[in-house]
Amino acid sequence: MTAKPPTRDQIARAADVLGLSLEPADLDEFTEMVRGTVETYYRPLDRLPDNLPPVKYPRTPGHFPSDEEDPLRAWYVKSTIEGSKRGRLRGKTVAIKDNICVAGLPMMNGASVLEGYVPEVDATVVTRTLDAGGTILGKAHCEYFCYSGSSHTNAQKTTLNPLNPEYTPGGSSSGCAALLAAGEVDLAIGSDQGGSIREPASFCGLVGMKPTWGLVPYTGAGSIEMTLDHLGPMSRTVEDNALYLEVLAGEDGLDPRQYAPRTARYTRALGQSAEGLRIGVMTEGFGFEDSEADVDEAVRAAAETFARLGASVTEISVPAHRELGMSVWVPIACEGAYEQILKGLGNGHNWKGAYVPSLLEKLNGWQAKSNMFSEIFKLGMLCAEHMRTVHHGRYYAKAQNLSRLLRAAYDAALEEVDILLTPTSPIKGSKLPPENRTRQEDMVPGFTPIPNTAPIDCTGHPSISIPCAMRDGLPVGLMLTGRHFDESTLYRAAHAFEQAVDWKSV
Residues acting as catalytic residues = 97, 172, 196
Half-sphere exposure of 396 (CA within 13 A, CB side): 22
Q: Is residue 81 within 8 Å of 130, Cβ to Cβ?
A: yes
Distance, in Å, from the CA atom of 488 to the CA atom of 209, rounded to the nearest integer, reads: 11
Backbone angles phi, psi at 315, to 5 degrees: -80, 140
Q: Which stretches within 274-337 are classed as H helix?
A: 293-308, 319-323, 325-337
Distance, in Å, from the CA atom of 64 to the CA atom of 137, rounded to the nearest integer, reads: 12
Residue 465 β-bridge partners: 208, 479
CA distances from 331 to 100, 285, 380, 475 (A): 25, 21, 9, 31
Angle at 90 between CA 86 and CA 91, to 5 degrees: 145
CA distances from 44 to 2, 4, 37, 120 (A): 10, 12, 11, 22
For the stretch 257-295, what's the b/e string if a residue is b when 16 or more beta carbons lie within 10 angstroms of its beta carbon? bbeebebbebbebbebebeebebbbbebbbebeebbeeb
Q: Is residue 409 within 8 Å of 322, Cβ to Cβ?
A: no
- The burial of 417, by beta-carbon neighbours within 10 Å (0-12 exposed, 13-18 middle, 19 or more buried), is given as buried
- The DSSP line for 368-413 is GGGGGS-HHHHHHHHHHHHHHHHHTTHHHHHHHHHHHHHHHHHHHH
Q: Is residue 183 within 8 Å of 449, Cβ to Cβ?
A: no
Closest by Cα among 186, 187, 211 to 198: 211
Q: Is residue 106 within 8 Å of 229, Cβ to Cβ?
A: no
